[in-house]
Amino acid sequence: MKNHSVRIFLAEDNAADVWLIEEAIRRQSIAFEIDNYTTAADAIEAVVRCGTGESPVPDLILLDYNLPSGHGGDILEAAAENSHISNVPKAILTSFLQPSESKKALELGAACVITKPASLDEFMSEVGGKVAKLLRGDGCAGPR
């Protein structure tokens, strides 16, 4: 566990989900700050600037898949162009994905696809657990 506060790049348009994600990470006893973008266009604009001096390199990039003006895959594509963040773990967050979309996301550089369960307890352990693993540099494969 890192001592300093971690910085999380979050593309998520649903404020209720932002709150749930914050709660899940908090329950992992991780100190964090979130930069939240609510449309794909805003997130793309931000992701290309990471590490250029205009904005810092985040410790983790979490992307909701279905967003206004586009989807998480579009942001991954833009992120791939930015070499400053090539080592930053990236994950797609979604309630569900079509198999083809899931495959595409992994090809575009996502470490994994994290599903948003409907049950609160599952949401906390799934999202919190995987975020913690990703921050430790363990990836997010295998059981949570």
Partner 1 sequence: MEAIAVARPEGEASTAAPERVKLLLVDDDPDNLLALEAVLEPLRQDLLLARSGEDALRLCLDHDFAAILLDVRMPDMDGFETAALIRSRRKSRHTPILFLTAYRSDEQLFRGYDLGAVDFLFKPIVPEILQSKVAVFVELSRNEQLLRRQAEELTRVEQRFRAVLEAAPDAMTITNNAVIELANSRADALFGYSREALIGRDIRELIPDWEAAPAGAPDPGVTEERLRAVRSDGTSFPAQITRSPFRSAGAWLITTAIRDATGQVEAETRIRKINAELERRVAERTAALTYSNDALRQFAWAASHDLQEPIRTVLSYSQWLASSGAEAGGDRRDRMLGVIQDHASRLYQLLGALRQYLQVSESGAVDAARASRTLVDVNAVLTQVTANLQTLIAESGAKLEWDGLPTILGTEILLVQVFQNLIANGIKHRSDRPPVIRVQAEISDGAWIFSVQDNGAGIDPKYFEYVFGVFRRLNRGGGAGMGLAICKAVVERLGGRIWVESSGLGAGSTFRFSVPQRVE
Residues that bind partner 1 (CB under 8 A): 13-17, 19-20, 23, 38-39, 41, 66, 68-70, 95-96, 98, 116, 118-121, 123
Shortest Cβ 139–partner 1 spacing (Å): 26
Nearest to 93 by CA among 37, 46, 42: 37
Burial, 17: exposed, middle or buried (Cβ in 10 Å; 0-12, 13-18, 19+)?
Answer: middle
Q: For the beta carbon of residue 29, count every other beta carbon within 10 angstroms.
A: 9
- Between 41 and 80, CB nearer to partner 1: 41
How would you classify the pairing of strands 66-67 and 60-64?
A: unpaired
Of 44 and 88, CB closest to partner 1: 44
Residue 106 or 120 with smaller CB distance to partner 1:
120
Output the CA angle 122-128-131, nearest 5 degrees. 135
Q: How far is the CB of 92 from partner 1 (least distance, A)?
A: 13
Minimum CB separation from partner 1 for residue 135, in Å? 23
